[in-house]
Amino acid sequence: MKLALTVHQVHRLTVLRPARPLRHAVLLDEDRSLDAYLDQEAARRIGALWELAAASPHALVHVPLRGNAVPASVGGGRRLDLVLVHHSLQFRPSRWKEVRGRLGAGRARTVEVGWRAPEIDHAAVHFRENRDLFHQHVHAETLFMTGSAKAFRDSARHLFELAPAPDGTHSCTELDPVGRARLVHFVSCEQW
């Protein structure tokens, strides 16, 4: 999949953003879970950005979502942006507000992102030495998903496999991270 990006440089930090907004996507903080309502195009593009985070350990992947409209059928919740961060970058979310404020126009770039279904060892997730887990932080109206390349690659399937919901039904998938991270509920939503 070809992905059009905007590349920003701030204080020796690279920030990658989608070149055009994802209009039919919103991420809501619902206290117990994080609910993402996505149309089919947004799910595929965010899945590609998830893969990009796996392949770009030296960059932040920022997905602006909090300014988007919430579908009429959805309740409230605090709207959030999304930042995907490789754990080796050791980025502190407390720095995000300053970095976001200095992004500027950036420069255009197109990348090719591929995806194939991973082979997941579900038992290994519970091993104490497993480092392929997500850590979440909500700061400055942004959800930070921090993890390893393997964690991003293995979980991108939740977005690529999200099928459109037939009329009157609910189609969703859940990313249930082990540890203290909250459930991320991806919901197919074609009516905006």
How many folded domains does the chain comprise? 1
Q: Which of 2-16, 20-34, 82-96, 170-184 has the lowest mean pLDDT?
A: 170-184
According to the model, what pLDDT value does residue 161 have? 87
- State the pLDDT confidence band at 164, using cuts at 50, 70 and 90: confident
Cα(134)–Cα(146) distance, integer angstroms? 5
The range of the structural domain enclosing residue 10 comes to 2-188
Buried b (16+ CB within 10 A) or exposed e, 27-50: bbbeeeebbbbbbeebbbbbbbbb
Strands 183-188 and 33-38: parallel
Q: What is the 3-state secondary structure (H, E, C) of 66-98?
A: CCCCCCCCCCCCEEEEEEEEEHHHCCCHHHHHH
Q: Is the pTM of this model over 0.85?
A: yes
Candidate from 54-58, 136-140, 174-178, 180-184 with smallest mean pLDDT = 174-178
Mean pLDDT of 11-35: 93
Mean pLDDT for 113-126 is 58
pLDDT tens-digit map of 59-112: 999 999 999 999 887 877 899 999 999 999 999 999 999 999 999 999 999 999
